[in-house]
Amino acid sequence: MKTALLWDPGVLEYRFRPDHPFNPKRLELTVSLIEAMGLLDGTDHCMVPLRPATHEELVRVHAPEYVAAVRRLGAAGRDTGEGWRWGLGTDDTPVFPGMHDVTSLVVGGTIRAAELVMSGEVTRALNLAGGLHHGHRDRASGFCVYDDLAAAIAWIRAAHGARVMYIDYDAHHGDGVQGIFYGDPDVLTLSIHESGRFLFPGTGFVDELGEGEGYGYSLNLPLDPSTEDDSWIELHRDLIPAAAEAFRPDVIVLQNGCDGHTLDPLTHLRATTRLYEETVRTVCEVADRLCGGRVVATGGGGYAVWQVVPRAWTLVWAGLSGQEAGNDVPRAWLDRWQGESPVLLPERLRDLPGEFPAVPRRAEVEAVNRRTLESLRRQALPLLSGWGMGF
Partner 1 sequence: MTRGPVTVTPDDTLAHALRLTREHRIRHLPVVDGGGRLVGILSDRDIRLAMPSPLTTHDAERVDFLGRTPIAAVMIREVVTASGHDPVEDAAKLLYRHRIGSLPVVDAAGRLEGILTETDLLHAFVQVLGGTQPSSRLEVALPDRPGELARVVGILAAHNVNIVGVLVSPVRVRDEKTVIVHVGTIDPRVAVEALEAAGFVVGWPSLEEDVRALLGR
Q: Could you give the residue numbers annotated as active site?
A: 134
Among positions 150-189, residues that touch partner 1 (CB under 8 A) are 172, 175
- Minimum CB–partner distance for residue 117 and partner 1 (Å): 30
- Minimum CB–partner distance for residue 228 and partner 1 (Å): 12
- Minimum CB–partner distance for residue 172 and partner 1 (Å): 7
Cβ nearer to partner 1, comparing 83 with 249: 83
- Can you tell me which of 45, 62, 100, 134 binds partner 1, judged by CB under 8 A? 134
With binding defined as CB under 8 A, does residue 146 bind partner 1?
no
Q: What is the 3-state secondary structure (H, E, C) of 179-209?
A: HHCCCCCCEEEEEEEECCCCCCCCCCCCCCC
Which of 257, 235, 319, 243 has its CA nearest to residue 285?
319
Residue window 182-221: x/- pattern of binding to partner 1, with contact defined by CB under 8 A: --------------xxxxxxxx------------------
Cβ nearer to partner 1, comparing 206 with 280: 206
Burial classification of residue 328, based on how many CB atoms lie within 10 Å of its CB (0-12 exposed, 13-18 middle, 19 or more buried): exposed
Among positions 347-366, residues that touch partner 1 (CB under 8 A) are 356-357, 359-360
- Minimum CB–partner distance for residue 84 and partner 1 (Å): 9
- Can you tell me which of 86, 143, 169, 181 binds partner 1, judged by CB under 8 A? 143
Residue window 254-273: x/- pattern of binding to partner 1, with contact defined by CB under 8 A: --------xx-xx-x-----
Cβ nearer to partner 1, comparing 205 with 215: 205
For partner 1 (CB under 8 A), the number of binding residues is: 29
In the sheet where 295-298 sits, what is the strand order?
A: 45-48, 3-6, 124-127, 295-298, 251-255, 164-168, 187-194, 218-223
Cβ nearer to partner 1, comparing 92 with 186: 92
Exposure b/e, 338-374, CB count within 10 A at least 16 = b: eeeeeeebbeebbbeeeebeebeeeeebbebbeebbe
Cβ nearer to partner 1, comparing 175 with 277: 175
- Can you tell me which of 54, 90, 375, 379 binds partner 1, judged by CB under 8 A? 90
Q: DSSP for 103-170, please give it.
A: HHHHHHHHHHHHHHHHTTS-SEEEETT---TT-BTTB-BTTBSS-HHHHHHHHHHHHH---EEEEE-S
Q: CB neighbours (10 Å) of residue 56?
A: 9
Q: Where are the alpha helices (DSSP H) in the chain?
A: 25-36, 55-59, 64-76, 99-118, 148-160, 175-180, 229-247, 273-290, 309-320, 331-338, 362-388
Cβ nearer to partner 1, comparing 108 with 222: 222
Among positions 18-47, residues that touch partner 1 (CB under 8 A) are 21
Residues that bind partner 1 (CB under 8 A): 21, 90-92, 134, 141-143, 172, 175, 196-203, 225-226, 262-263, 265-266, 268, 356-357, 359-360
